[in-house]
Amino acid sequence: GIVATLKHFVGYSASRAGRNLAPSSVGPRERADVLLPPFEMAVREGGARSVMHAYTDLDGIPAAADEELLTGLLRDTWGFDGTVVADYFGIAFLKTLHGIAGDWADAAGAALRAGVDVELPTVKTFGAPLVEAVTDGRVPETLIDRALRRVLTQKTALGLLDADWNPAPPALDGADLDDPHALRGSIDL
């Protein structure tokens, strides 16, 4: 009933000065031999269903806009068919930090093209700016459909779209969910 999310794909652990927003200065061999194998095994052997992109960039290409990484390697080569989610504000950083997008809509389009399906924690780029970009023809509607299909497929597999789905766990059956203080400590973990 849950989905594990691998993070941060890829280069986060090798960023300059250990700063999560800094570039990763690794070559192709180190990337292939050191950084990628744990992710590949988690996808191919562990069955991970979600991946979160890193804030970092490799050779000037931010992970959130790296189509070769998120679609070519992750999906096409490794066979991953789950969801790719944004690190907090990672799509907005395509404009404000990485400087590869002229506006929020460009950032959203770049992330969608690369293979990001969900923006977290808000819809700063995937909200009104993306609607405008699709309406103007700057971002193809097929990219929205692709991301939506992945998200809905995952929700369906988890039963989140079933008519009888309830977000409250069975351990809280009969509890007053409007009184959070009464719930504290009521579940034996």
**Per-residue pLDDT tens digits for 77-102:** 999 999 999 989 999 999 999 999 99
The Cα–Cα gap between 100 and 73 comes to: 22
**Which one-letter amino acid corresponds to residue 174?**
G
Q: Pick the more confident residue, 175 or 41.
A: 41
More confident residue, 162 or 183: 162
pLDDT higher than threshold 80 for residue 188: no
Would you state the pLDDT for residue 168?
A: 84
Please provide the average confidence, as pLDDT, over all residues in the chain.
Answer: 93
Is 172's pLDDT higher than 90?
no
Task: Quickly list H helices, 24-170.
Answer: 28-30, 36-44, 67, 93-96, 104-114, 128-135, 141-158
Q: What is the mean pLDDT of residues 166-181?
A: 85
Q: What is the pLDDT of residue 175?
A: 85
Q: What count of Cα atoms within 13 Å lies in the side-chain half-sphere of residue 69?
A: 28
Cβ 16 vs Cβ 24: under 8 Å: yes
Query: pLDDT tier at 181 (50, 70, 90 boundaries)?
Result: confident
Instruction: Give the pTM.
Output: 0.89
Q: What is the pLDDT of residue 85?
A: 98
* Domains within the chain, CATH numbers bracketed: 5-183 (3.20.20.300)
Q: Which H/E stretch holds residue 43?
A: helix 36-44
Burial 114-127 (b: 16+ CB within 10 A, else e): bbbbbbeeebbbbe
User: What pLDDT is stored for residue 23 in this prediction?
Assistant: 82
pLDDT 10s digits, 12-27: 777 777 777 788 888 8
% the chain with pLDDT above 90: 75
Tokens matching residue 171: 């351990």
- pLDDT tens sequence across 103-150: 999 999 999 999 999 999 999 999 999 999 999 999 999 999 999 999
Handedness of CA 129, 132, 134, 138 (dihedral sign): negative
Give the Å distances, CA to CA, from 183 to 90, 122, 169: 34, 28, 12
Distance CA 94, CA 163 (A): 38
